[in-house]
Amino acid sequence: MGIKGRDFLSAADINAEEALALFELAKRYKEQRHAKIEHDEPLKGKKVAMLFQKPSLRTRVTFELAVHELGGYPVILTQSEVGLGQREAVKDVARNLDRWVDAIVARVFEHETLVEMAEWAKAPVINALSDLEHPCQAVADLFTLWEIWGDVRNRNLTFVGDGFNVAHSLLLLCATLGVNCTVATPKGYEPKEAIVLKAKEIASKSNAQIVITNDPIEAVRNAEALYTDVWASMGQEAEAEKRKRDFARFQVNTQLLKHAPSGVFVMHCLPAHRGEEITDEVLDATFSLAWEQAENRLHAQKALLAKILGGD
């Protein structure tokens, strides 16, 4: 059955078999692109609306290229043009788009906006980032590690920083794939309890270990991949100075890496605030996977679109 025609709002919306099928297809698309070999066009004749309430570099470029390279037609819509939830009700936007396009990719402030769009549109809705999750990023991240490790089960990923949308999706997809996931945050910045409980429920079937801690040094001791993200996300700018103080011990730098195993990879979903959550020497090191993650957004999202709109 696969994921044809389904919404993708959460990293928990796919099972392990479906995630690994995405990785296999993403690998094929990546190899073909690198070899400059033309591949199939499962989106031929398909139209995909891409709605952005928030600014975007990687998500915008990779989704637009993905639709185009798969033979489809991307329609880019910004918040200033659409006024989602302001100029026009979310359900009205969804019902209009549903009459014209085959899928809706949306980057929004509030996750409930995506839920409402999915309720009113028959076309699949794909979460390109919300305040709750960033599932497309997690798919690209775990694909990146799968390329390196092969079998990702029982490997150890540690996230150090804000227990926000990226951490939420990593927890859920790691649990699904049997990856041990530790999240280290300052007190008060832990992941949402509902997400942690969901991850632990999934992990009980995959035998993954889910750990939430406030100690960054203990968190990295067994890390094979060490992940961080900005301390103040879009919409949290007013808290930036307070967050710099609260997160000071959680910077990914050479001092923290001394407590991690040798050979650890460092990951960042970008954009990076250099000198805050991560130092230049770590982000630009040979063991940094940030640029591979960024590239893999394209290949992973091509696989996702092909499976949802092309299907098996």
Contact 89, 58 (CB under 8 A): no
Is residue 229 annotated as a catalytic residue, yes or no? yes
Angle subtended at Cα 147 by Cα 144 and Cα 148, rounded to the nearest 5 degrees: 95
Which residue in 53, 79, 137, 293 is the catalytic one? 137
How crowded is residue 275: how many other Cβ atoms within 10 Å of its Cβ?
Answer: 11
Angle between helices 165-177 and 193-206 in degrees, nearest 10? 20
Whether the bond between 261 and the residue before it is cis, its omega within 30 degrees of 0, is no
Is residue 107 annotated as a catalytic residue, yes or no? yes
Is residue 269 annotated as a catalytic residue, yes or no? yes
Whether the bond between 271 and the residue before it is cis, its omega within 30 degrees of 0, is yes
Classify residue 155 as left (phi > 0), alpha (psi -120 to 50) or beta: beta
Contact 131, 109 (CB under 8 A): yes
Which residue in 6, 58, 60, 107 is the catalytic one? 107
Q: For residues 136 and 140, give the distance between their C-alpha atoms in angstroms, rounded to a whole number.
A: 6
Q: Is the dihedral of CA 168, 173, 174, 178 positive or negative?
A: positive
* Closest listed residue to residue 11, CA positions, set 1, 22, 19: 19
State phi, psi for 153 to the nearest 5 degrees. -60, 140
Q: For residues 40 and 106, give the distance between their C-alpha atoms in angstroms, rounded to a whole number.
A: 25
Which residue in 58, 134, 168, 268 is the catalytic one? 134
Which residue in 58, 251, 269, 299 is the catalytic one? 269
Residue 56 corresponds to which amino acid? Answer: S
Contact 272, 278 (CB under 8 A): yes
Is residue 34 annotated as a catalytic residue, yes or no? no
Catalytically active residues, by annotation: 107, 134, 137, 229, 269, 297
